[in-house]
Amino acid sequence: MASRSQTLGEIELDFARSRRRAVARRHLPHKRGLLGRRSVRAGILALVLLALLAESTRLEASNAKAPAQRAESSRVAAPCPVPKAFRAAFARASALTGVPRSLLVATAYEESRMNPRARSAAGAVGLLQVMPATARALRFEGDDPAANVVAGARYLRQLLARFGSVELALSAYNAGPTAVERAGGAPTLATLRYVKNVEVRESQLVGC
């Protein structure tokens, strides 16, 4: 009897253990499901964060490129403003004096807007607004536009040799060499604006 009773007790003990294991196994899927849902949510959150990070990086890159793009757009080439009738004159003047054609054209545009009949209040005339006394000294008098361009180119060449820089030479072309020497540069804001306008236009000119 003791042996049988002991055997039944062991059986009951084994049965109780089996029930506990069964109950434990029934709860395990729920725990795994909860963990699975948490894993899915964590994965979705990670993807959202990565997408936000990528968008932020793209915006920063586009903002960094914006100044460069604006800088490029500021260098858009300008069409040649020289009327066809005067293009040969500018080419010849550049070849004779060594002054870049683009610099001559930009100076002429700032001086006269390419009007061969332009005359200033001070008496300067022509495409390059050469003073009559300067034209006489350079032996290029008269109303011929081609002669006026050569005279202006030779005068600008003299100023380049005298001052050693384009900025000072242009300042002297506009305000006179004596005023530039006294001031040590552009003597007025108007002259400085004139110089910058010429330099910007020269950098944009194509096809002249």
Annotated catalytic residue within 10, 111, 167, 199? 111
Is residue 202 annotated as a catalytic residue, yes or no?
no
Calculate the CA 52 to chain-centre distance: 29
- Sort 180 into a burial class: Cβ within 10 Å, 0-12 / 13-18 / 19+: buried
The helix (run of H) or strand (run of E) holding residue 207 is: none
Give the integer Cα–Cα distance in Å for 48 and 13: 52
Encoding tokens for residue 145? 């536009």
Cβ atoms < 10 Å from Cβ of 87? 15
Residues 6+ apart with CB under 8 A from 145: 85, 86, 89, 116, 126, 127
What is the rounded CA–CA span in Å between residue 147 and residue 137? 13
Quickly list DSSP for 1-46: -HHHHHHHHHHHHHHHHHHHHHHHHHHHHHHHHHHHHHHHHHHHHH
Catalytic residues: 111
